[in-house]
Amino acid sequence: MAIAIIGGGLTGLASAVFLVESGISPSEIVIFEKDLRLGGKVETEVFGDRPVDLGPDAFLTRTNDATGFANQIGIGERLIRPSVFSASIYAKNRLHKVPSGIMLGVPVNFKEFFSSASMISMLGKLRAAADFILPKSQLGEDYTVSELIGGRFGREVEEMLVEPMLGGINAGSTKDLGIEAVAPMIRSAYKKSNSRSLTKNLVSVSPKSNSTIAPQVPFGSFSNGLSELIEASVKYIEGATIHTGVEVTEIVSISLGVRVETSNGESHNFDKTIVAAPSFAAHQMLQDISADARDGLKSIDFASVGVVLLRYRKDSIQAPITGSGVLVPKSNNFLMTATTYASRKWSHIASEDFEIFKVSVGRFRDTRFLPMTDDEVAEKVSSELEQILQITGAPDLTSIKRWGRALPQFRPYHREMVSSIRNSVEALNRVFIAGASYDGVGIPSCISSARNAVSRALNSSN
């Protein structure tokens, strides 16, 4: 069975791994990647002499998706954990510890929340407590994060906590993001209970602490960065044909399969194809396969983001550096959205003389960094970082990575739309779609999406 995979990011490579695991010979697999490198948003740069990830720098280990995949491709024993895992929030011109007693910014223990949420005014805390007395929210089957959480806890909790935490994961806005897609546990807890209070509903599903056992940090990575996942995947599928720098322009249905047309003027026939490219790229190449799916594929918006690496001498930093980083709410009007203390978070990046910061810029509808030069972006974020941490000197090393149309924005009823798209595209049992555009951002989601697409492809018949 000849199978094409469109996209050489993590989803595409994981698809190839699962095909090989299922008994498909690597010689029957062909991967097309339009960029000159594999890995998609997973990329590690040697910054100075330290490996620093330019995209995600860790994956959730609460499920077995990523850890099981790492074991499968032979690098599970190389898993490392962050040295520290706690964040601060920069608000009202100072740093605040992320309060205890919250889940994704939502209060689940009001006693802890009241005593530790120093960035929330007393009026804001009292407004949050209105969750206990407000009538049950009647919002239909799906709705925005803001409609539920902002409606129950008020503007301050939404803007100071939920927006930078939950919105920050998706580089989006709580006023746009659908709760079913980005916080299904919160929606499920509220929908299934008759209690009017969201806090009371979340208590039953929030992780229970055990004071006698130190909780394990639920994130993992590798000492050479997440690019180890890419390198090990390529090794696992050795024998597969991989075309880089080749863009697929169209996928055409033929009598016994599909024909893949490429930007270099070639065409190739396959029995089945897994499209692991972003939805905006899939929209272009699937015109012949499904006219019904075009509007859905085209309607998924994306946020463009950037990563700025900066290295400072330790003796130039006046403020204490605690935890793994800082979240920056929109109210600051900063270019940066968050900063990771990379050399504190990861012991293999640590240095006696320097601190390395990984600064994120850009979010949906905030594209201020796009027309700026790299020097202008570096100068702006360094001035913001210097304000937050009272840094007296300039960085001695900087690097910037721009990710255009990087993070999909999941609006209400996203899952229903994806189901409709899949039913249309996959009706002929020849083309199957997978990736972050449909099933969620994050490494475990991409791996799970790839596994499910392979299962559908191998269990279908033309």
Tell how far CA 83 is from the center of its chain: 21
Residues 88 and 177: their CA atoms lie apart, in Å, by 23
User: Residue 354, Cβ neighbours under 10 Å: how many?
Assistant: 18
d(CA 420, CA 211): 46
174 close to 163: Cβ distance less than 8 angstroms: yes
pLDDT value of residue 29 = 98
108 Cα distance to chain centroid: 24
From residue 371, how far is each of 66, 237, 366 by CA, in Å?
A: 36, 40, 12
Partners of 260 in beta bridges: 251, 268
Tell me if residue 231 falls in helix, strand or coil.
helix
**Measured CA angle at 269 (ends 267, 274), to 5 deg:** 100
Single out the residue of 266, 326, 271, 257 nearest to residue 98, CA to CA. Answer: 326
What is the torsion angle, in degrees rounded to the nearest 10, for the CA atoms of residue 203, residue 207, residue 212 and residue 217?
-150
The pLDDT value recorded for residue 212 is 45
Sort residue 172 into left (φ over 0), alpha (ψ -120 to 50) or beta. beta
10-residue mean pLDDT series, the chain (462 residues) = 97 98 98 98 97 97 96 98 94 96 94 97 98 94 96 98 95 97 92 89 70 67 98 98 98 94 96 98 94 93 98 96 96 97 96 97 97 98 97 96 98 97 96 98 97 96 70
pLDDT of residue 192: 82
pLDDT in tens, 46-89: 999 999 999 999 999 999 999 999 999 999 999 999 999 899 99
Strand, coil or helix: 397: strand
**Residue 175 tokens, joined:** 């006023």
pLDDT at residue 460 in the model: 86
To 10 degrees, the CA torsion angle through 167, 168, 173, 176?
-50
In this prediction the pTM is 0.95
Each residue's pLDDT tens digit, 113-155:
999 999 999 999 999 999 999 999 989 889 999 999 999 999 9
Quick one: pLDDT at residue 211? 44
**End-to-end CA, the chain:** 12
Structure tokens at 281: 């790229």
Contact in structure between 87 and 164 (CB atoms under 8 Å): no
CATH level 3 topology of 3-38+227-300+410-458? FAD/NAD(P)-binding domain (3.50.50)
The two tokens of residue 263 are: 């930007």
Whether residue 260 contacts residue 4, with contact meaning beta carbons closer than 8 Å, is answered with: yes
The CATH H-level superfamily of 302-408 is Protoporphyrinogen oxidase, mitochondrial; domain 2 (3.90.660.20)
Going by the DSSP 8-state scheme, the letter that residue 174 receives in this structure is: T
Reply yes or no on domain 98-203 having CATH 3.30.1330.10.
Answer: no
Alpha-carbon distances of 296 from 5, 279, 414, rounded to whole Å: 21, 9, 10
Q: Is 315 helix (H, G, I), strand (E, B) or coil?
A: helix
The domain segmentation of the chain, as residue ranges, is 3-38+227-300+410-458, 98-203, 302-408
